[in-house]
Amino acid sequence: MSGRIEKAFLRARKARRAAFIPYITAGDPVPARTVVLARALERAGADILELGVPFTDPIADGPTNQRAAERALAQGTSLTGVLGLVRELRFSSELPVVLFTYFNPVHAYGLARFAVDAAAAGVDGVLFTDVPVEEAGPAHEALRRVGVELVLLLAPTSTRERVKAVRKLAGSFVYFIARTGVTGARAALEEGLEEQVRLVRKLAKSRVAVGFGVSTPEQVARIARFADGVVVGSVLVDRIGELGDVPELPGEIEALARSFAVATRRR
């Protein structure tokens, strides 16, 4: 195992921060910008990058990420292409990368071949939006062999039994879905989130990163008090969509991401 994810959490903890985990869709607005954006996010303070693999039918995503996937697909982004982008990023950066993907592109690529190629490209973890723990065995096995982490999701609707089942397969952290719904910016955080996260951390015996709908620095600051990591996606993706492929794009995204990164500090 590369251990980059583990190290990132340790480093954040030492600095009395929650890990800052921004999300962008690979290939949006164009594949040539993905590495540049990743570096901008790293400068802004990203501890781990969540990189979305675009898919035609993203059932777990709201309109923001759907449109990003459409833009990326229109630019010819494929899973092969995404692995190429990660490989390119590795020339200049050790930022841990977690791929955020639907299962079918990986299924079509071939699970075993994907695991080997992902590891070789420098991918640290893989999160499948539509592979619950019951279906995760083969992916876990394939990824384990090559030292890539499987990142599993838990939701407010997850039963205690499910949280415990996830514990058996989880790597450095689990991803807790902050609200029942799809991805997308939201004004308010769900009530009871803190208790849920504490319970999940206890039952899953794992670090917990919180995402889905986190869209203001204030929300980040609140979540950082009780979670090990905070995922911020749709606000960044929205901004990428608004700006498009313009020269200011990396600078703008860096500035926006920094406003979230600083909020991860625990006071």
Task: For residue 61, indicate whether it is catalytic.
Answer: yes
What are the distances in angstroms from CA 159 to CA 52, 174, 204?
Answer: 27, 15, 12
Site for other proteins in 79-98 (CB under 8 A): 79-80
Q: Out of 42, 47, 50, 149, which one is annotated catalytic? A: 50
**192 touching other proteins, by CB under 8 A:** no
**66 touching other proteins, by CB under 8 A:** yes
- The Cα–Cα gap between 112 and 125 comes to 15
Closest Cα partner for 231 from 184, 190, 267? 184
Residue with tokens 């990986």: 106
Which part of the chain contacts other proteins (CB under 8 A), choosing from 86-94, 178-186, 198-206, 233-241? 178-186
**2 touching other proteins, by CB under 8 A:** no
Ranges of beta strands (E only) in the chain are 19-25, 49-52, 97-101, 125-128, 149-151, 153-154, 173-177, 207-211, 229-232
**111 touching other proteins, by CB under 8 A:** no
Site for other proteins in 206-265 (CB under 8 A): none
User: Exactly one of 91, 134, 191, 242 binds other proteins (CB under 8 A); which one?
Assistant: 134
Closest Cα partner for 127 from 242, 214, 10, 231? 231
Which part of the chain contacts other proteins (CB under 8 A), choosing from 32-40, 129-137, 221-229, 246-254? 129-137
DSSP assignment of 47-111: SSEEEEPP-S--TT--HHHHHHHHHHHHTT--HHHHHHHHHHHTTT----EEEEE-HHHHHHH-H
User: Exactly one of 7, 62, 194, 262 binds other proteins (CB under 8 A); which one?
Assistant: 62
**74 touching other proteins, by CB under 8 A:** no
Task: For residue 50, indicate whether it is catalytic.
Answer: yes
User: Exactly one of 7, 13, 90, 107 binds other proteins (CB under 8 A); which one?
Assistant: 107
Q: Which residues bind other proteins (CB under 8 A)?
A: 55-60, 62, 66, 73, 78-80, 102-109, 129-132, 134-135, 152-159, 162, 177, 180-182
